[in-house]
Amino acid sequence: MEKLPRIIGLIIVLTIAIIIITTIKLKHKEAPEGEFKDMVGASYVGSFECKKCHERRYLEWTTTLHSKMMQDAKANPLVIIGDFDSPSKIRTFNKEDVDYTLGNQWKQQYLKKEGDDYVVLPAQYNIGAHEWEAYYPADKQKRLWFKECGGCHATGVDPGKKTFKEPGIGCEACHGPGSNHVRAIPGFEIATIINPVRLPALAAAQICGSCHTKGKDKSGEYAYPVGYMTTRGVANLYLYFDPVSPKNNPEMFWQSGDSKEYHQQYLDWQKSQHAKAGVTCTKCHTIHTGTTMFQTVMVGDALCKSCHTTTGYRGVHRIHTFGSCIDCHMARTVTSAVTGDLRSHTFKFASPELSIKMGGVEKQPNSCSGCHKHKDTPLTDLVGFIDAAKSADMPKPWSAHRREVSP
């Protein structure tokens, strides 16, 4: 009889022990499985992994063209914009040949898998003009995606192994490989991922500059900086890349130094007063949201006037009754699909004087002729107006057009 309390006591002790042990075990299981404190050895996981914890950023990013640059046409044939129904002499392939699309805005090009590589098919669709244009002659060397395009249109590209993690400009194209970050020890989230805002401004701009540029990687084989974003921290783009320049590649620039060809925004910008003053890409462009045309922080003159509060309506700025800053300071020098569909990022005023010197607007575009292109507005008159306006001694009445003005 007197053993009973002891047995009860033993049972109570055992139960408590079991409860304690299982709680500890359960707690251990529930603990975050964080393993990493830094970015060493990180690999690419894809943007969808980031959605788990950064859902708003993710959903916003899906509204940008970055997210849609390269799309799987087999998974979703609706991403094909080109007209494959009407007959065309220029288009030598069919919808069924298309594995991926490239681009949405100015032109669309098409990729077909061949062996372990992708071939860029030989015609592009110019979206605004609704027409096909030959991209390269069919008898010429095929253009291979991993060699000539890959790293700028997809994320986690390994041209050696001919693999990529994700089509399009995913989160990790700008933030670096994220496998360590998604399994960071709590408190080490910041140490496990690149946040451009924590880099010096000009180093952060290089991240954008790794694609919005043109040139060759250090091996001379690839058209993009292979290996650039896979390293930790403030990598110097120029250890990976040799960009084109007006000196070595005069066919890609105008005499004025402004770009002739597309995806050279970084090269233009580097020459600008903005670069010198630390006005980087992200001062004017939103990053994760695509709600405005060209992802600008503000629309129209408001963007420029948000900083240039003292630009008065004096001198040349007095010629017009409207502002239209970019028409003079971002002249249409660049071509993506059709002549002059894009603008220069040097922010320099392109004077008609240089057009005269170079032998016409076709040889050197300028800031005024974009609008004053009628044959009755000679370039010499435009130069005259600028000089008159600059000397603040504007003859009145005056006109850009040669019409008789009664005294």
Q: Any contact of residue 346 with ligand HEC (CB under 6 A)?
A: no
Burial class (CB in 10 A: 0-12, 13-18, 19+), 123: buried
Closest CA to 242 of 202, 268, 214, 263: 214
Alpha-carbon distance values, 27 to 21, 24, 33, 197, 201 (Å): 10, 5, 12, 37, 43
Q: How far is the CB of 79 from ligand HEC (least distance, A)?
A: 11
**327: helix, coil or strand?**
helix
Q: Which is nearer to ligand HEC, 98 or 284 (CB)?
A: 284
Q: How far is the CB of 149 from ligand HEC (least distance, A)?
A: 3
Q: Any contact of residue 400 with ligand HEC (CB under 6 A)?
A: yes
Q: How far is the CB of 272 from ligand HEC (least distance, A)?
A: 7
Helices (H), 271-315: 273-276, 281-284, 301-305
The binder of ligand HEC chosen from 54, 162, 218, 232 (CB under 6 A)? 54
Q: Which is nearer to ligand HEC, 260 or 343 (CB)?
A: 343
Helices (H), 286-351: 301-305, 325-329
Site for ligand HEC, residues 97 to 116, rule: CB under 6 A:
102-107, 109
Closest CA to 280 of 289, 295, 270: 270
Q: Any contact of residue 162 with ligand HEC (CB under 6 A)?
A: no
CB 234 within 8 Å of CB 200: yes
Q: Any contact of residue 69 with ligand HEC (CB under 6 A)?
A: yes
Q: Any contact of residue 31 with ligand HEC (CB under 6 A)?
A: no
CA distance 158 to 161: 6
Q: Which is nearer to ligand HEC, 204 or 246 (CB)?
A: 204
Number of residues that bind ligand HEC (CB under 6 A): 114
CA distance 69 to 212: 13
Q: Which is nearer to ligand HEC, 9 or 128 (CB)?
A: 128
Taking CB under 6 A as the binding criterion, the range among 87-95, 249-257, 317-325, 356-364 that sits at the site for ligand HEC is 317-325
Q: How far is the CB of 277 from ligand HEC (least distance, A)?
A: 4
Q: Any contact of residue 65 with ligand HEC (CB under 6 A)?
A: yes
Exposure string over 147-182, b if 16+ CB within 10 A, otherwise e = eebbbbbbbbbbbeeeebbbbbbbbbbbbbbbbbbb
CB 215 within 8 Å of CB 223: yes
Q: How far is the CB of 86 from ligand HEC (least distance, A)?
A: 20
Burial class (CB in 10 A: 0-12, 13-18, 19+), 241: buried
Q: Which is nearer to ligand HEC, 246 or 330 (CB)?
A: 330
Q: How far is the CB of 24 from ligand HEC (least distance, A)?
A: 24
Q: How far is the CB of 388 from ligand HEC (least distance, A)?
A: 8
The count of other CB atoms within 10 Å of the CB of residue 359 is 9
Residue nearest ligand HEC, CB atom distance: 178
Site for ligand HEC, residues 212 to 271, rule: CB under 6 A:
212-214, 223-224, 262-263, 265-266, 269
The count of other CB atoms within 10 Å of the CB of residue 287 is 18
The binder of ligand HEC chosen from 22, 23, 163, 195 (CB under 6 A)? 195
Closest CA to 131 of 335, 338, 333: 338
The binder of ligand HEC chosen from 347, 356, 364, 365 (CB under 6 A)? 347
CB 190 within 8 Å of CB 183: no
Q: Any contact of residue 48 with ligand HEC (CB under 6 A)?
A: no
The binder of ligand HEC chosen from 15, 43, 92, 399 (CB under 6 A)? 399
Residue by residue, DSSP assigns 377-401 as S-HHHHHHHHHHHHTT---SS--SS
Q: Any contact of residue 140 with ligand HEC (CB under 6 A)?
A: no
Taking CB under 6 A as the binding criterion, the range among 7-15, 91-99, 197-205, 353-361 that sits at the site for ligand HEC is 197-205
The binder of ligand HEC chosen from 336, 338, 358, 361 (CB under 6 A)? 336
Q: Any contact of residue 382 with ligand HEC (CB under 6 A)?
A: yes
